[in-house]
Structure 1
Amino acid sequence: MSEDNLEPLEEGHFYDKQEHPDQKDTITKVTGMYKDWFLDYASYVILERAVPAIEDGFKPVQRRIMHSLKELDDGRYNKVANVVGHTMQYHPHGDASIGDAMVQIGQKELLIDTQGNWGNILTGDGAAASRYIEARLSKFGLEVLYSPKITPWQASYDGRRNEPINLPVKFPLLLAQGAEGIAVGLSTKVLPHNFNELIDASIKILKNKPFTLYPDFPTAGIADVSNYNEGMRGGRVRVRARISQVDKSTLAITQIPFSTNTTTLIDSILKANDKGKIKIKKIEDNTAAEVEILIHLPAGVSPDKSIDALYAFTACETSVAPLGCVIEDNKPLFIGVRDMLKISTDRTVDLLKRELEIQLNELEEQWHFQSLERIFIENRIYRLIEEEETWQGVIKAIDEGLKPFTQHLKRAVTEEDIVRLTEIRIKRISKFDIDKAQEKIEALEGDIEQVKHDLEHLTDFAIAYFQNLKEKYGKGRERKTELKSFDTIEATKVVLRNTKLYVNRAEGFIGTGLKKDEYVADCSDIDDVIVFLRDGSMMVTKVDVKTFVGKDIIYIAIFDKSDKRTIYNMIYRDGRSGPSYVKRFNVTAVTRDKPYDLTTGTKGSQVLYFSGNPNGEAEVVTILLRQVGSIKKLKFEIDFATIGIKGRASRGNTVTKYPIRKIELKEKGISTLKPRRIWFDETVQRLNVEGRGELLGEFRANDRLLIVNQLGKVKTIIPELTTHFEEGMIVLEKWVPKKPISAIYYDGEKERYYVKRFLVEHENKEEIFITEHSNSQLEIVSTDYRPVAEIIFSKIKGVQKETLTVDFEDFIAVKGIKALGNQLTTDKVRQVNLLESLPFEVPEEEIPEEMEVKDEDTLSDTDDKSSLDDDGQITLSLD
């Protein structure tokens, strides 16, 4: 009966289609092999292929490769093809899978000393064919992987040879190399960690000290491990490429995220460019031993926003989900990296103990035989066998001859010992030196005592072992991946708006496909659009080719749900003949495609005036009333600055109960919102308005930030929240244009120190204010009005010159930024320090003007009771 002919009925029951094509009366119950096949297959994949063992950190194929390398090891390189062929004696799979596994081990540059083209993890290039590349065990691998006397062995799959069940690895290899595998029903992903940090953590475990472990990737990059969760299920590590700005139109990627390579990274950038998410001019890949990808930007494209867009829309930022799964006692075990390291450290201690015990036993055996040999030769016991004619007589004679001299031995003399004595050559007996023999015995006694001491102080011995590993092999294995907290990039704020939004106001259509209608703004396909209609309704919808939102559109714009500074000013009539109301509001939380009524809901209501103001501007409008009855005043003004900002559902303030003929704009408004308070979060090196980090000040539309770096460069920028800050920044503060900057620097060409004071001359240009010689360097810089510095001189012939105090204001006048400055001293300077600045009264013209502002964050959504009387004057009625 063929397996293909079996049709399942229920668990464990089948009928044969060929024998019974038209009925299901005959049921054949299948047991045994069929029933267990899937479980057997799943167990095989989990235990024998995909998941590493907790004992040594190896998958079976990796363990067999390392065993084969040891068997072939003679200090010289072996062709990888030969190693693969040798491994096939132990691994029942094809050469390709073995070769790929060996290349992966070799690329980690820890256990295998490689020669030839082994591929490039940075570019994704594969290794050369196994017949062209060579390998041998590294010195580190030889030291930590092998110890045959304590290795558990088993028969290979064909029974012809023995292979290790696991290798006695005396190092947290699993955490150092990492592991990844997909089995049946489960998977594993252990991230790689830093060599030296693992050793340090193991030592801390032995000393009962707390420790932390975070991954370190061979591709370097920047990692946010705040949600690492010790490498267990549910954790996540965000990894970013290192991107720097070369100039205004060029970005450089010098490190890439783990699990990517330059090929996939560039492909993701090109795809994002094709989809319009970012805009680039061209990409150059100069990667060799180090990553270097140059991204050239078109003119007018912001480098800061481009960096954020690369993180948001390309593989420049990836998210890695660790999953600590290992095999212990032939069962999967889900475990964190801390426990993995503790198990590895405890196992290393146990292996060291077993090695010491074996070494002690061997030393004691050597001491025993050396002592027997000395007794045997020194007391001429070998002469006792001259008269013996049988072998048993020889053994007995020697045994009887030794008895008077063996009381000090640590164990009884065996027949095997006597046989070894009979094998000593005559030449050795004739040249036997009693003094040298005693020296050897004493040396052995010293070694025995040392091993016993190590066993009694096993923890200290293990600590010394780890320290020795770090000293011998830790150089050049410093951390590559920088650990840093990331800010969350909002895609809508950095996406390239590469398409155009149009509107047909009368018909009520909006979209990117209405190219014959009115242009609104540039947009992207992930943007939302806010629309206000004449009937007082509002809707937020996603950008599309063509969308109907309602007829008679009066206002349309790109919508940002987190924008609290855009304020809408509105005057509407309640119903067909009701009173008119004025209101100011912002729009934040809304449901997409849901209409909202901004009026009281009376049928026939109509918006008479509307404006959207990005910075809370409040204009002045003129109200013209219709001539009805005995109205005394047909014209009056409303200043929106006098209207409080409420929720969008509020009714608003009464304008008039009479019909309005016309509303005219009299005067454009200024912002009625508080200046925006901006903080700098040093952890993520970004600006924010949420109160994280150091407060830089309150910024209006034209205010700028002053930045000075260690290279002696100064610039001012608009404080945009997407700004990226470079390393080496020493001054970041709100810029006061008339406040001078003071500095002391060393001129590398003249080999003298200079003092200068200057003002920033070009607010949109980065300038260097020290000389450009390669040895020139900035010593101190201050933005205080009257800074003071102390100059400490070097001793000359044992004489210490008195410290010099420099008042910058008295020492030098404010000059141009390119001026050399005044020479500080001709003497040799040892140190320059900033002291407490002198008091100074800030000039009135440099004090920011106070504005009477409304804080939108403290206003309620309830109606106020103010209204305009018949003469157009605002009155306030209180309940």
Structure 2
Amino acid sequence: MEENLEGAQEEQFENKEELIRVTGMYKDWFLDYASYVILERAVPAIEDGFKPVQRRIMHSMKDLDDGRYNKVANIVGHTMQYHPHGDASIGDAMVQVGQKELLIDTQGNWGNILTGDRAAAPRYIEARLSKFALEVLYSPKLTEWQLSYDGRKQEPVNLPVKFPLLLAQGAEGIAVGLSTRILPHNFLELIEASINHLRGKSFKLFPDFPTGGIADISNYNDGKRGGRVRIRAKISQVEKNTLAITEIPYGTTTTSLIDSILKANDKGKIKIKKIEDNTAAEVEILIHLPSNMSPDRTIDALYAFTQCENSLAPLGCVIIDHKPIFLGVSEVLRRSTDHTLHLLQKELEIKLDELEEQWHFASLERIFIENRIYRDIEEEETWEGVIQAIDEGLKPHTKHLKREVNEDDIVRLTEIRIKRISKFDIDKAQQKIDALEGEIAQVKHHLDHIVDFAVNYFKKLKKDYGEGRERKTELRIFDDIEATKVVIRNTKLYVNRAEGFVGTSLKKNEYVTDCSDIDDVICFTADGKMMVTKVDSKTFIGKDIIHVAIFKKKDKRTIYNMVYQDGKGGKSYVKRFAVTSVTRDREYDLTQGKKGSKVLYFTANPNGEAEVVTVFLRQMGSIRKVKFDLDFSEVLIKGRNVKGNIVTKYSVKRIELKEEGVSTLKPRRIWFDETVKRLNVDERGELLGEFKGEDRLLVITQDGVVKTIKPELTTRFDDEMVILEKWVKDKPISAIYWEPEKERYYVKRFLIDNPDREEKFISDHEDSFLELVSTDYLPVAEIVYTKPKGKERRENDEINIEEFISVKGIKALGNQLTTEKVNQINLLDPLPYEPEEEAKAENSESDESGNNEASEVTGEDLKSGTIKTPDDNSTSGGQPSLFDN
């Protein structure tokens, strides 16, 4: 029987199709869930800057506060009365607040934001509210309360926070369909911005991170959606082959940073010898480099390939009126400051009411006792009669009171003890009333000048809690680092010209150059085709490859000289062109596209060299001149698609190089941008001059080190640099420095004999220091002497340093400046430098002749500094340019 019933049911279900729609449930339930996550978990409120779990933690800590430390486990357990989640989420949230060192006074191992080490278990660490939190977070009389999730407790809807706490601490959260990321800002700058807003002045806010580092906030966009902040570690060179990381980007740890460096090293992006992590209270990561590695280039590579540079996208989402709203940090600060102003006003109004109530009862008490109204109730037998008697007794004396006397006031009077009446002192009572009147007047004054009161409140916060809260993150504009310029090329590129293959696996074929896996390769073939492709193990380009090199984007310095035959038996054309941008893996035809076209001559010139070649024609017909010269300098540099100029209509037998080329490009003008401390060719900052391939920069640092360097755009400069200019070989350097062993100032003048060596020109003694240095031809220094006791101060001396001492070696001690005690040494304007008469005569003859060609440059011209290289006529040798990289 049971089997029959089951079979019937199965048959019934098989025959019946039922469609259950979940659209309504999805809309209702999912919307409820999303709203809960947004409002109750992930996004902070604009009023106090707290997420619900953080607010409940701070409320619990106030419940437990007795001035002593409490176990975090105890605080977490107490918070669970208000928070509907487990202890783990509460503990993690509390550690995050505590690590910000603003609201919670911590004790024990609370973890390390620098290394990423976790905090100890809650039973081992302790906490209490900081004095700052007690001052700005709590005001029970202003707090709006609500029932906790289980209805057993009262918890605050929002804490009455009187400070832009949300911007000080920052906030991150991921909800359903949206997220928030408000970056932390500087405590002192927030106070100054609040004061400026109260006074109607403008302000700007930029993030400040607890881990320090360097930040580029040029695209911060006020913390709104679409903005971006780039953050870099602070890296410096401590020794010749050692770099030190002393501050790290926000959002990273020393562990993750070191891992990223090791991975970049393993992939060949950078090359390091070893790495040490000495981080404790402060970050110290030492990176030891091989002896052949450039520290400057390695620093750029660290920024390009590791977590030494991070990018953060701020997104200011907050809860306003139970809805998520996107705001910029300026608007958040304005709303927070206005809210603080409102809270301060409410506190003053409450205090005024309390003071006036105290004054009212103190006055009633005096009237009641001084006029012995308490005797009027002796004959009364009922409570109503007592109240009535006191009321009648008070009426003649209450005209000056600020409100009517009610029954509650009379009841309070009846509660005064006999002992207090017997010891009542009229003078003391009047003094109390006078004091209350003074306080009332002061509170009314604050209310009348509420903005000034709020400004003073913020100033007091700055005075009491601002010590040690200076900005940690340095703000600076970054230069973009091109990865291809700083990557370590640790792979070898090979070519099989005949078969038309290039790649890193063709080890039995011709070696081309070192490369990296992010490089692009440019190839030219004998039929006039060109292609740019990414470095790979083996790539087919086309048969008969005539040139292979690493391709550099936007390279206007490399010029290709080419002669090609247009089709089989056609005319020959010459063209010069640069390749600045292409589509990867696309084949470009550099000829006119006719079948049988071929390249007759081809060179790639890294500095725009233009050689002279000899063209040999085939002896045929009535040709008389079968050999002639072709000068590429007479051919204009144009685009790669141009047809070119006709060389000859006859058949070319061969083309041979006759004369090495010289550069036809202008010397490169280089500027120094003080903001980012980098060289550039974009006309940013101070113009250093025009540089040919052999020119160098002179660098002098505050610690007395001088060197000359090639003006590479990747070079980094630090704050120790005091002189950066184009180096003139015969121009002496003048310096005044303190010699501790002699206890005297010394003067020296010297030339740089070895431009490739970095040398120190002052004493190696640790107390030796450089007072001033000059590269003027005729520098003048002023000596200000110290005034002896009881004597007149000696008049200042002016010294022509060129007459004071002759040019000596860089290691020479120099001449003693003076035996007197010196208060100060100042560098004055130099004397005018006059070239010798012979040089003047040569210059004047050249000017009068009207000849525009460059005359011969003499040594005296170099010394005078008057020679300027003309833009149009200047040339440089055929060596590769210093700026190709």
TM-score tier, shorter chain, comes to over 0.9
Structure 1 residues 28 and 640: alpha-carbon distance in aligned structure 2, compared to 1, 3 A threshold: closer
2: distance between equivalents of 1:674 and 1:235?
Answer: 40
**1:783 partnered with 2:775:** yes
Matched residue, 1:140 = 132
Residue pair 1:277, 1:495 contacting (<8 A) in 2 also? yes
Query: In 2, distance between residues paired with 1:821 and 1:240?
Result: 43
Aligned counterpart for 1:812 among listed residues 805, 810, 818: 805
CA contact (8 A) 2:297 2:714 kept: yes
Note closer, same or farther for the CA distance 1:291–1:24 as it changes in structure 2 (3 Å cut).
farther
Is the counterpart of residue 586 in structure 1 residue 578 in structure 2?
yes
Q: 1:525 deviation in Å?
A: 1.2
Which of 425, 431, 435 in structure 2 is aligned with 1:433?
425
Partner of 1:800: 793
Structure-2 change in CA distance of 1:19 and 1:359 (3 Å): farther
- Answer with 636-645 or 736-745: which moved more: 636-645
Distance 2:781 2:619 in 1: 76
Secondary structure of the residue aligned to 2:756 is coil
Aligned residue in 1 for 2:316: 324
The CA deviation at 1:248 is 2.5
Task: Give the 3 Å change call, closer, same or farther, for CA 424–850 of structure 1 in structure 2.
Answer: closer
Correspondences of 1:362-377 after superposition (within 5 Å): 362-377=354-369
Contact 2:699 2:706 survives alignment (8 Å): yes
Instruction: In structure 1, give the amino acid aligned to 2:797.
Output: L
SS at 1:825's partner residue?
Answer: coil
CA distance in 1 between counterparts of 2:221 and 2:581 reads 33
Structure 2 residue aligned with 1:251, among 243, 250, 253?
A: 243
The two structures have a TM-score, normalised by structure 1, of 0.93
| Equivalent runs, 1:142-157 vs 2, <5 Å | 142-157=134-149
| C-alpha deviation, 1:160, in angstroms | 0.8
Counterpart check, 1:463 vs 2:455: yes
Is 1:827 aligned to 2:816, yes or no? no
Q: CA deviation at 1:599?
A: 1.8
In structure 2, what is the Cα distance between the partners aligned to 1:55 and 1:855? 67
In structure 1, the partner of 2:854 is: none
Kept in 1, the 8 Å contact 2:667–2:871? The answer is no
Paired residues of 2:612 and 2:632 also in contact (CA < 8 A): yes
Correspondence for 1:3: none
The equivalent of 1:691 in structure 2 is 683
Could you tell which deviates more after superposition, 593-602 or 481-490? 593-602
Matched, 1:85 2:77: yes
CA deviation after TM superposition for structure 1 residue 374, in Å: 1.6
1:869 equivalent in structure 2: none
* 1:463-498 residue CA offsets vs partner (Å, 9 max, x unmatched): 000000001001100000011100111111111111
1:210 Cα offset (Å): 0.7
Aligned 1:389-400 pairs, distance under 5 A: 389-400=381-392
Equivalent of 1:572, from 546, 564, 571? 564
The whole-number CA distance in structure 2 between the counterparts of 1:32 and 1:508 is: 65
| TM-fit CA distance, 1:318 | 0.6
User: Cα distance, 1:520 vs. partner?
Assistant: 0.7
Cα deviations by residue, 1:675-727 (Å, 9 ceiling, x for unpaired): 11111111211111122221111111111100112222211111111101011
Q: Does 1:551 align with 2:543?
A: yes
User: Match of 1:417?
Assistant: 409
| Residues 356/643 of structure 1: CA separation in 2 closer, same or farther (3 Å cut) | same
Work out the percentage of aligned pairs sharing the same amino acid: 73
Aligned residue in 2 for 1:164: 156
Q: 1:765 aligns with which of 744, 747, 757?
A: 757
Amino acid at match of 1:349: L
CA distance in structure 2 between the partners assigned to 1:401 and 1:736 by the alignment: 105
Please tell me whether the aligned partners of residues 672 and 853 of structure 1 are also in contact (alpha carbons under 8 angstroms). Answer: no
User: Match for 2:373 among 381, 386, 398?
Assistant: 381
Segment of structure 1 superposing worse, 797-806 or 352-361: 797-806
Give the 3 Å change call, closer, same or farther, for CA 852–466 of structure 1 in structure 2. closer
Which AA in structure 1 matches 2:324? P
Contact 2:99–2:113 under 8 Å retained in 1? yes
Q: CA deviation at 1:402?
A: 2.0
| 1:351 Cα offset (Å) | 0.2
The letter for the 1-side match of 2:89 is S
Greater mean alpha carbon deviation, residues 793-802 or residues 293-302 = 793-802
Write the letter of the residue equivalent to 1:515: K
- Name the structure 2 match of 1:239: 231
Secondary structure at 1:165 match in 2: strand
The farther-off stretch of 771-780 and 518-527 is 771-780
1:378 is matched by which residue type in structure 2?
E
Distance in 1 between residues matched to 2:23 and 2:713, nearest whole Å: 68
Conserved? CA contact 1:673–1:854, under 8 Å: no
How far did residue 617 of structure 1 move? 1.8
| Inter-partner Cα distance in structure 2 for 1:423 and 1:831 | 79
Shift in Å, 1:436: 1.5
Q: Is the 8 A contact 1:20 1:26 kept in 2?
A: no
Question: Do structure 1's residue 637 and structure 2's residue 629 form an aligned pair?
Answer: yes
Structure 2 vs 1, CA of residues 701 and 340 (structure 1 numbering), >3 Å: closer, same or farther?
A: same
Q: Distance in 1 between matches of 2:22 and 2:802?
A: 99
Q: How does 1:56-455 map to 2 (within 5 A)?
A: 56-455=48-447
Moved more, 360-369 or 274-283: 274-283
- Alignment-mate amino acid for residue 198 of structure 1: L
Aligned pair partner of 1:704 in 696, 699, 709:
696
8 A Cα contact 1:680 1:693, kept in partner: yes
Task: Tell me the TM-score normalized by structure 2.
Answer: 0.92
Q: CA separation of 1:336/1:386 partners in 2, compared to 1, >3 Å: closer, same or farther?
A: same
Counterpart position of 1:774: 766
Separation of aligned partners in 2, 1:30 and 1:516: 67
Aligned residues: 840
Which 10-residue stretch deviates more, 797-806 or 287-296? 797-806
Secondary structure of 2:817's aligned partner: strand
User: For structure 1, which runs of at least 5 residues remain unmatched after alignment?
Assistant: 1-16, 857-879
Match of residue 674 from structure 2: 682
Point out the more displaced range, 604-613 or 311-320: 604-613
Distance, in Å, in 1 between the alignment partners of 2:608 and 2:242 is 36
Write the letter of the residue equivalent to 1:177: Q
Aligned 1:472-621 pairs, distance under 5 A: 472-621=464-613
Partner-residue secondary structure (3-state), 1:150: coil
Unpaired segments of 5 or more residues in structure 2? 1-8, 840-857, 876-885
Deviation digits for residues 230-258 of structure 1 (CA, Å, limit 9, x no counterpart): 11110100111111111221111110111
Alignment partners' CA distance in 2, 1:673 and 1:27: 78
1:126 partner letter? R
Please give the alpha-carbon distance, in whole angstroms, between the structure 1 residues aligned to 2:703 and 2:692.
Answer: 29
CA contact (8 A) 2:667 2:874 kept: no
Give, as a single letter, the amino acid of the residue that structure 2 aligns with 1:812.
Answer: I
Alignment-derived partner of residue 11 in structure 1: none
Q: CA deviation at 1:27?
A: 4.6
CA distance in 1, matches of 2:871, 2:204: 52
d(CA) in 2 for partners of 1:732, 1:608: 47
